[in-house]
């Protein structure tokens, strides 16, 4: 099955709605339906058919209540329960996305497929723009079927044998670590352990293959070494995110977007803060894991009487099996990565006693001639491995900037304060 742009395909006509394509790859403006209505199965089936055809649907002037938003979502499947994103009061399954001068758009500016860090990610998302900024705050979607289709044959064959890790820590780890300390980071990872998905997945309904790695959440390929993995990921992301694969939506108040997370990715554009923006989103869980062979995937049992699926149930590998947290860190270690140890004792001495001498020696072998104190090394050692390299480079750069040949705790504090925006 070769990929055809919208203009190259024979497009279906619908009985209950009109669909006007928005770009060559994906997206259509839908008119003729009012999503606030209690829509019949026929209409819902047509909306779903249009979703499979265009991958993302946009509707204007859809004023509705949270109750109506939820009723609509339930017609497509089971909403996902409360996770780490704030929720609308009284509606634990509706995500609140509120931006103003204090709360600016964060990780959403990186391309992603919703919830790919779970074993059972979201099948589709329904996002309502309630109060939208004038001019800015567009969202871009990327067609990952097209991204796959435009790879060469040998590359497709190579990628089919690979799996990739998806983890929240890639995009949010550093912020949680610096803002909440090591304990907050470990709690986050315990609740959201890394998961593994195939790099190429088959869409369970269209049968089409899609590339399933994303900028925000995919951290590495399990079968490759780090050098290969970093280079390949960079190449695939650069290949995917190009205008020929994308469409861009300009929101107005009461616009709605409905998208298929299995074959698309999206990202926000932060060109509006500090203007106010308010959006409500419901994620509908897929009952099959991303797979090359979805027909043989076990189905996630939906409890039709439940209000939503609990987030904990969306992980196959339970947290305790994949991320050990309890009882390893000495009590004073918790939060050490962000605290400067303002007690009476000299923080250098306080931490120095704990340092692993081998780690200190390795640090002091750096080619910049910067000597690390034992205290600074002990603090760096507490930073999770995946962030440690970046922290070490930043400390060396700061020491050089200060004209110092020594990397001590006060230099590390300066680096961490700068990262927190201090």
Q: How far is CA 285 from CA 114, 230, 396, in A?
A: 10, 30, 45
Annotation says 42 is catalytic: no
Residue 246 CB, shortest distance to Fe ion, in Å, is 15
**Which stretches of 286-378 are assigned E, i.e. beta strand?**
371-372
Residue 284 CB, shortest distance to Fe ion, in Å, is 13
Exposed, middle or buried, 279 (CB in 10 Å: 0-12/13-18/19+)? Answer: buried
Annotation says 114 is catalytic: yes
Among 46, 114, 119, 165, binds Fe ion (CB under 5 A): 114
User: Of 281, 231, 254, whose CA–CA distance to 72 is shortest?
Assistant: 281
Q: Which of 95, 197, 245, 266 is catalytic?
A: 266
Q: Which of 95, 123, 280, 281 is catalytic?
A: 281
Q: 3-state DSSP call for residue 269?
A: coil
Annotation says 15 is catalytic: no
Residue with tokens 């097209």: 146
Kindly tell me which of 46 and 114 has the beta carbon lying closer to Fe ion: 114
Backbone angles phi, psi at 75, to 5 degrees: -70, -20
Residue 114 CB, shortest distance to Fe ion, in Å, is 5
Query: Does residue 274 have a cis peptide bond before it, meaning omega lies within 30 degrees of 0?
Result: yes
Kindly tell me which of 114 and 215 has the beta carbon lying closer to Fe ion: 114
x/- mask, Fe ion, residues 139-168, rule CB under 5 A, reads: ------------------------------
Kindly state the number of chain residues that form the binding site for Fe ion, as judged by CB under 5 A. 1
Could you say which residues in the range 4-63 bind Fe ion, by CB under 5 A? none
Binding region for Fe ion (CB under 5 A) out of 110-118, 147-155, 342-350, 392-400: 110-118
Residue 281 CB, shortest distance to Fe ion, in Å, is 8
Residue 402 CB, shortest distance to Fe ion, in Å, is 40
Note the Cα 200 to chain centre separation in Å: 18
Q: How far apart are CA 57 and CA 67, in angstroms?
A: 21
Q: How far apart are CA 403 and CA 419, in angstroms?
A: 20
Exposed, middle or buried, 369 (CB in 10 Å: 0-12/13-18/19+)? Answer: exposed
x/- mask, Fe ion, residues 318-337, rule CB under 5 A, reads: --------------------
Which helix (H) or strand (E) segment holds residue 69: the answer is helix 66-76
Q: Are the C-beta atoms of 72 and 35 separated by less than 8 Å?
A: yes
Kindly tell me which of 262 and 379 has the beta carbon lying closer to Fe ion: 262
> Which residue's CB comes closest to Fe ion?
114
Told to check if 115 binds Fe ion by CB under 5 A, we report no
Kindly tell me which of 114 and 145 has the beta carbon lying closer to Fe ion: 114
Please give the residue ranges that form the binding site for Fe ion (CB under 5 A): 114
Which amino acids are annotated catalytic? 112, 114, 266, 281
């Amino acid at each position: 099955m070769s990929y055809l742009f919208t203009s190259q395909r024979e497009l279906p006509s619908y009985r209950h709605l009109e669909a006007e394509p928005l770009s060559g790859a994906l997206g259509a403006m839908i008119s003729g339906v009012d999503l606030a209505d209690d829509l019949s199965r026929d209409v819902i089936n047509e909306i779903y058919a249009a979703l499979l055809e265009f991958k993302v649907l946009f509707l204007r002037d859809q004023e509705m209540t949270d109750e109506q938003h939820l009723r609509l979502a339930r017609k497509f499947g089971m909403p996902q329960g409360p996770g780490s994103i704030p929720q609308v009061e009284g509606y634990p399954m509706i995500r609140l996305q509120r931006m103003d001068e204090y709360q600016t758009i964060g990780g959403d500016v990186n391309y992603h497929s919703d919830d790919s860090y779970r074993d059972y990610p979201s099948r589709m998302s329904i996002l309502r723009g309630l109060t939208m900024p004038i001019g800015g705050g567009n969202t871009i979607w990327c067609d990952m079927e097209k991204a796959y289709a435009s790879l060469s044959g040998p590359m497709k064959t190579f990628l089919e044998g690979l799996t990739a890790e998806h983890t929240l820590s890639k995009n949010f780890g550093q912020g949680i670590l610096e803002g909440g300390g090591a304990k907050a980071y470990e709690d986050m990872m315990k609740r959201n352990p890394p998961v593994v998905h195939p790099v190429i997945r088959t869409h369970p309904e269209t049968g089409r293959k899609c590339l399933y790695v994303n900028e925000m959440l995919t951290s590495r390929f399990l079968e490759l070494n780090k050098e290969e993995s970093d280079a390949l990921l960079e190449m695939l992301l650069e290949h995917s995110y190009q205008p020929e694969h994308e469409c861009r939506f300009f929101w107005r108040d009461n616009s709605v977007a409905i998208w298929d997370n299995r074959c698309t990715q999206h990202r926000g554009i932060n060109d509006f803060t500090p203007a106010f923006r308010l959006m409500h989103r419901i994620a509908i869980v897929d009952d099959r894991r991303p797979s090359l062979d979805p027909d043989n995937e076990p189905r996630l049992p939906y409890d039709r009487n439940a209000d939503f699926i609990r987030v904990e149930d969306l992980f196959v590998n339970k947290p305790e099996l994949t991320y050990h947290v309890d009882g390893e860190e000495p009590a004073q270690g918790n939060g050490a990565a962000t605290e400067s140890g303002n007690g009476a004792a000299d923080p250098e001495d306080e931490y120095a006693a704990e340092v692993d001498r081998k780690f200190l020696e390795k640090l002091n072998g750096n080619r910049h001639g910067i000597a690390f104190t034992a205290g600074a090394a002990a603090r760096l050692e507490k930073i999770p491995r995946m962030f440690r390299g970046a922290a070490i480079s930043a400390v060396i750069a700061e020491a050089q900037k200060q004209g110092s040949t020594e990397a001590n705790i006060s230099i590390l504090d300066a680096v961490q304060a700068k990262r927190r925006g201090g």
